Structure 1
Amino acid sequence: MLRSFLAVLALTWAMATPMQAAEPWTDWQAPIHADSEMAGTVWDARAGATIDPAELIDRLAQARFVLIGEIHDNPDHHRLQGWIIARLAMAGASPAVVMEMISRDKAEALSAYLAQPEPTAAGLGPALNWGESGWPEWQFYQPIAEAAFAAGLPIGPGNPPSNLTRQTAEQGFDSLGKARKAELALDEPLSPALSDALMDELYEGHCQMLSREKLAPMAKVQRLRDAFMAEGMLTAERETALLIAGNGHVRADRGVPWYLRRRAPESDVAVVALVELDGERAAPRDYVETGPDGTPIADFFWLTPRAERPDPCEQMRQMMQQQSGGN
């Protein structure tokens, strides 16, 4: 018992100073609205009030499952995720870290790298062949790995293997087999309202340039990924787990929490959505997104500056023109 106490004390002492110096809201990297008074605000959607980051950690430390959403190309979101992981460890939590960005195709390479005598956060990306993954460059995600490594937390894959993703897009959930489909909780359909809302999100996310018929396979893939990420949290090496994923996956109404509720209904789940400021909404409460029933899709909304990026709809328009031969 004394040895365990001293280990925790040593970890806390080692992490306290660097993490205090690394508070992301003192040195934003994303430039747009970085000088806004709302940048760094944490909004408790249930209480309808602002809370400070320390109170957020206290609340998250009580949950079995913590889900932290993100916008993938915003570096501050990954720095905040790393900060949360480090602070949870300092508070005595010891969750497994499940990452959407690591598919089960990479499970063997991940295990092999983590089994090395001295794996480093910097080396994890190359070990997973990150440069060819399609995700933003590894330096964006490295703060997450650094925090997990420093706290001795395991990292696990979230997304399904690519061949299963393709199979589901083409053949639907029945291709999984009856037992596997039920195990993943994919035998229960979303309610019509949630299903329609998912299709609406995909339609808007693809700039209204694809028909809903063409988007139907994407909706199946979205659900498959949510189900696999929930399973990754449920089967992680630790009793508690923390998920790093896009905001669309962590939303409480139809994302990963939907599957967690069906497979572990007694578990406490806490969702944090990292949201970019847009300069148009005047108060933190204006950034609260709700589901079809009016319930907030996250427990906490952490407001951050916006990253610079090209217009995604213009990029998609150009890509579609190239695919159609420029007509």
Structure 2
Amino acid sequence: MRIAALLTLLALPALAQPPADIVILGEVHDNPDAHLGQAEALAALQPTAVVFEMLTAGEAARADADRTLIEDAWEASGWRDFPLYAPIFDALGDARIIGAAAPRDAVRAVYGDGPAALFGEDAARYGLDKPLDAAQQTQREAQQFDAHCQAMPLETMGGMVAVQRYRDAVFARAALEALEAYGPPVAVIAGNGHARTDWGIPAMIARAAPEVTTHAIGFVEARADTPFDDIRVVPPAERDDPCASLTNN
């Protein structure tokens, strides 16, 4: 009943004709209905490859080589409960599994060295060699501040923004490499913050490879002004107050 109702809500058969070379499927990480929606989108899209925010290249290669090891690779990643994501893997078909999670030591180093130094020689292609304009920097720092429950000093959010830019560029590069290797369409599974069209993965791809088309779908719990090409509203997940552990003494 729950899946049937969700399919009616999402009208996912519209994805049977690939809307773009690369389709980014955003998510609320702990929302099972968002993952059901992503799974049905993949089943309709039938991508050649699926890029995962959650898996490193090594973890994904292990899962891709032997599908019986998918859950083991997932557990090794340290990501959230596998059952939430199991429908996505069940919907992969013959799609290759690609990992785009940056190594933890690289992510930590971004705070001190900046995203361009860690990204490598293609940093300029993705715009990492230049600072953001002041208005966007301020907006993104404020959003990070709110996302972290205003429990960390606002002046530390610049590092969070740098990490976000670095990760978006890494995900975009992995998607472009998958597109070159396997052809369209390629799908990307990532959080909604990475899927937004103004400065997330789609924007990075548009800058690095303007000839490549993208389509970003945000699976969200409520409509907001976050820019996506398409928005699918899913029922809110039941969860404890995510800020309680950060704001309570």
Contact 1:190/1:254 (8 A) holds in 2: no
Alignment match, 2:230 = 300
Equivalent position amino acid for 1:181 in 2: A
| 3-state SS in 2 of match to 1:235 | helix
The separation in 2 between residues aligned to 1:179 and 1:113, in whole angstroms, is 29
Which letter does structure 2 place at the counterpart of 1:309? Answer: R
Q: Is the CA contact 1:250–1:271 (under 8 Å) kept in the aligned structure 2?
A: yes
Q: State how far apart, in whole Å, the 1-side matches of 2:127 and 2:145 are.
A: 25
For 1:138, the aligned partner's letter is F
Offset at 1:177?
7.4
Tell me the number of residue pairs that the alignment of Structure 1 and Structure 2 aligns.
Answer: 246
- Structure 2 segments unaligned to the other structure (5+ residues): none
Whether 1:125 aligns to 2:61 is: no
Return the offset for 1:88.
Answer: 1.2
Change (3 A) 1:67 1:178: closer
| Counterparts of 2:100 and 2:241, CA distance in 1 | 28
From 237, 242, 249, the counterpart of 1:312 = 242
Q: How far, CA to CA, are the matches of 1:310 and 1:53 in structure 2?
A: 30
2:30 maps to what in 1?
73
Alignment partners' CA distance in 2, 1:207 and 1:162: 23
Aligned pair 1:215/2:167, yes or no? Answer: no
**Alignment RMSD, CA only?**
2.3
Counterpart position of 1:53: 12
Superposed displacement of residue 139, structure 1: 0.8
In the alignment, is the contact (CA less than 8 A) between 1:181 and 1:187 conserved in 2? yes
**What is the SS of the residue equivalent to 2:217?**
strand
SS of 2:100's partner is strand
TM-score, scaled to structure 1: 0.69
TM-score, normalising length: structure 2: 0.89
Q: Distance in 1 between matches of 2:73 and 2:16?
A: 34
Which position in structure 1 is the counterpart of 2:50? Answer: 97
Alignment match, 2:190: 245
Counterpart mapping for 1:1-327 below 5 A: 24-26=3-5, 41-42=9-10, 52-55=11-14, 57-58=15-16, 61-89=18-46, 94-103=47-56, 107-116=57-66, 119-120=67-68, 123-130=69-76, 133=78, 135-148=79-92, 151-176=93-118, 179-236=121-178, 237-240=181-184, 241-277=186-222, 287-290=223-226, 297-318=227-248, 321=249
CA distance in 1, matches of 2:120, 2:55: 26
From the CA coordinates, give the structure whose radius of gyration is larger: 1
Cα 1:25–1:191, aligned 2, differ >3 Å: closer, same or farther?
A: farther
CA positional deviation for 1:172: 1.4
**Bigger shift: residues 207-216 or 78-87:** 207-216
Given that residues 115 and 162 in structure 2 are in contact (C-alpha distance below 8 angstroms), is that contact kept between their aligned partners in structure 1?
yes
- Tell me, in whole angstroms, the C-alpha distance in 2 between the residues paired with 1:271 and 1:126: 29
- Post-superposition Cα deviations, 1:162-200, rounded to whole Å, max 9, x if no partner, equal 111111122213533772422443113333332222111
Distance 2:119 2:50 in 1: 29
Q: What residue ranges of structure 1 are gaps of 5+ in the alignment?
A: 1-21, 29-38, 43-51, 278-286, 291-296, 322-327
Distance 1:112 1:244 in 2: 18
1:54 shift after superposition: 2.4
